[in-house]
Chains A and B, each alone.
Chain A
Amino acid sequence: MAEKVLLARVGRKDSRSIETYLEDGGYKALRTVLTSGWTPEKLTDEVKKSGLRGRGGAGFPTGVKWTFVPKDTKGKPVYLLCNADESEPGTFKDRLLMEEDPHQVLEGIILSSYAIKCRNAYIYIRGEFYLGARVLDRALEEAYAKGFLGQNILNSGYSLDVTVHRGAGAYICGEETGLIESLEGKRGQPRIKPPFPAVWGVFGAPTIVNNVETLACVVHIVNRGAEWFSKIGRNEKNTGPKLYCLSGHVVRPGVYEAAMGLPMKELLFGADYGQGMKEGKAVKAVIPGGASAAMLTADEIEDCPLDFDGLAAKKSMLGSAAIIVMNEDTCIVRAAQNLAKFFSHESCGQCTPCREGTPWLHQVLSRIESGQGRLEDIDLLEKISNQMANGMTICVFADAAIAPVLSSIGKFRDEFRFHVEHKRCLVGSGTRPRELVTA
């Protein structure tokens, strides 16, 4: 798939303005749906048929999620929340979509709101995206002025309000029930499920939470058909165009659009993508789906399609499609310590195994990294990890936190042992802030 769909307008002059969006065929999908007799059910069916799976991390079929809203809401409103909390380390695709093509995101939000009969939608955007929030606010003003939002949109009888709601710095608010709690003006601590948000979400009402990229896809499903969308990708369970966030030790990091299932090697080495490793170094490990995804070794990235099932088959995940590449000089112990620090800092503190376990993982990894480790610390890390996850906590944060620890030990155990026995890194690492303490 050489054609760009989601990124087609990125880089175009004045890509943020509604005028250029309209020139490029923008809001055509909205017009089609609202003025040519599409029912919300028809739109939902179309999205189901497209095979679109959520782009935020979990990969749940979007159209199916929408059908979980009860037919009879007993007089309660339905809410759509656009999850723009993009906080998974390594992920930066939604930032680009919002900053460069906000109307595409808005049109997706309006269409999706119509599908679930929502009259009031919120864009929950992470606090650090000041620019994204400003751009979206401006786009909202333009959309209201042109009658794409507000009362009786395009004389269809359908009305919708959209509000940009800024977060204030908390990774856990990307978890959908954490996001809901945060939107209600509380600490972003995830809720026990069930009830699921589609039944009992924000303000006690049925709520659908969809990722920015997911919502943007809906525009193109309407414009070009579910059939077209479903033909892009490796198979019928992994469909559509996909944004990949490539970072780390490659020549050309960036957001790249390709068909779902792009081979990992092509993303890293292809001329249209990463263009290979910086300074011709070898690949040591790749994190394929953000900090929460298990690391893969250089061998494992051979024949590795970047889609939901391709990475599940490697016992990792596509997650938010954040591909972080580490070269041969990277100290895996140090990388694992860095990831553990993130999770230790971001645990919401609600569940004991996670609140206590994440700092322990960070501390034990720091001990090994600083040359003070003992061989039994490696087993200890695995033991702590296994006591934290698999249903011990309210949300999957703890499962995410242990993935980099268990995968790095599982795949690079020798390097951990070397660190303990020799009190230094197995490899020269250019990334460490200070020389390792040699006791």
Chain B
Amino acid sequence: MEFPAQARARIEKILARYPTKQAALLPVLWVAQETWGWIPKEAAEEVANILDLSPAHVDGVLTFYTMYNLRPVGKSLLQFCTSISCHLAGAERLMERCAKRLGVELEQTTPDGKFTVVEVECIAGCDRAPSMMVNDTYYEPMDESKLDALLDRLAGQA
């Protein structure tokens, strides 16, 4: 599995910012995830290859952090914070309502590949609880009607 030329150029720029190749691991894994949407085993091996690291080291790092997708996720990754402030604002109810509406369990992707619902720890949106993110964007504060409208909008997107 090879990075496209543009991603390769980004990786070269990243490498120039660090005194060791290993230090570029997290940023390069981000490039991999942006390239393929998740990080297949072959991509992790390619990252290990580029950075002169063992695949085992890369695997250890990949599985330590929660934001690298180890399998494909839906086009919209619905991340519900249920840490204390969001919990106090009823976040679990909202998350369960969402999963029920989409007919999936947590961590599962809808059959059409549009949505994956996940529970995440505090995302620093506590003053606008309950807070959630769709991919890289915050939606806060959320409530049932806003969530329904958001899901309608996202479902309508091609």
Contact = CB atoms under 8 A, between A and B. Distances in A.
A391 interface: no
A95 B131 CA distance: 14
A276 B154 CA distance: 37
Contacts of B121: 87, 89, 171, 342, 345-346
A185 B24 contact: yes
Contacts of A184: 20, 22-23
Contact of B124 (A91, A170, A432): A91
A165 B27 CA distance: 7
A185 B19 contact: no
Interface residues of A, number: 59
A127 B65 contact: yes
A248 interface: yes
B85 A248 contact: yes
Contact of A246 (B25, B29, B127): B127
B93 interface: yes
Interface string B83-97: 111011110110010
Interface in A424-439: 430-433
Interface stretch (A191-199, A249-257, A306-314, A358-366): A249-257
**Which residue among B23, B57, B87 has the maximum number of chain A CB atoms within 10 Å of its CB?**
B87
Contacts, number: 148
Given A89-B126, A291-B83, A433 B93 contact: yes
A203 B129 CA distance: 39
A87 B24 CA distance: 22
Contacts of A183: 23
A182 B124 contact: no
A167 B65 CA distance: 8
Interface string B64-100: 1111100000000000001111011110110010000
A95 B61 CA distance: 25
Interface in A296-327: 322, 324, 326
A230 interface: no
Nearest to A291: B84
B26 interface: yes
B107 to A, nearest CB: 14
A169 interface: yes
A254 B89 CA distance: 14
B64 A188 contact: yes
Contacts of A126: 124
A167 B123 CA distance: 13
A1 interface: no
Interface string A77-98: 1000000001111111011000
A171 to B, nearest CB: 7
B127 A433 contact: no
A182 B25 CA distance: 9
A185 B123 contact: no
A29 to B, nearest CB: 26
Contacts of A253: 85, 126-129
Interface string B120-158: 111111111100010011100000000000000000000
B3 interface: no
A167 B27 CA distance: 8
A431 B87 contact: yes
B30 interface: yes
A219 B61 CA distance: 36
B60 interface: yes
B129 A338 contact: no
B101 interface: no
B90 A169 contact: no
B127 to A, nearest CB: 4
B83 A431 contact: no
B22 A186 contact: yes
A197 B127 CA distance: 33
Given A130-B136, A342-B83, A245 B126 contact: yes
A166 B65 contact: no
Given A89-B122, A92-B127, A433-B93, A339 B64 contact: no
A299 to B, nearest CB: 21
A90 B88 CA distance: 11
A339 B83 CA distance: 7
A168 B127 contact: no
7 smallest A-B Cβ distances: which pairs?
A: A185-B25, A169-B66, A168-B65, A130-B136, A169-B67, A247-B126, A185-B22
Given A188-B65, A335-B87, 9 more contacts: A90-B83, A91-B126, A128-B67, A130-B136, A161-B17, A169-B68, A246-B127, A291-B84, A342-B122
Interface of A: 77, 86-92, 94-95, 120, 126-131, 161, 163, 165-171, 182-188, 203, 245-249, 253-255, 287, 291, 322, 324, 326, 330, 335, 338-339, 342, 345-346, 348, 430-433
26 contacts: A88-B122, A89-B83, A90-B85, A90-B122, A95-B124, A120-B19, A128-B120, A128-B133, A129-B124, A131-B137, A131-B138, A168-B66, A169-B68, A169-B120, A171-B121, A184-B22, A187-B60, A203-B19, A203-B20, A253-B127, A254-B127, A291-B122, A335-B84, A342-B84, A342-B122, A433-B93
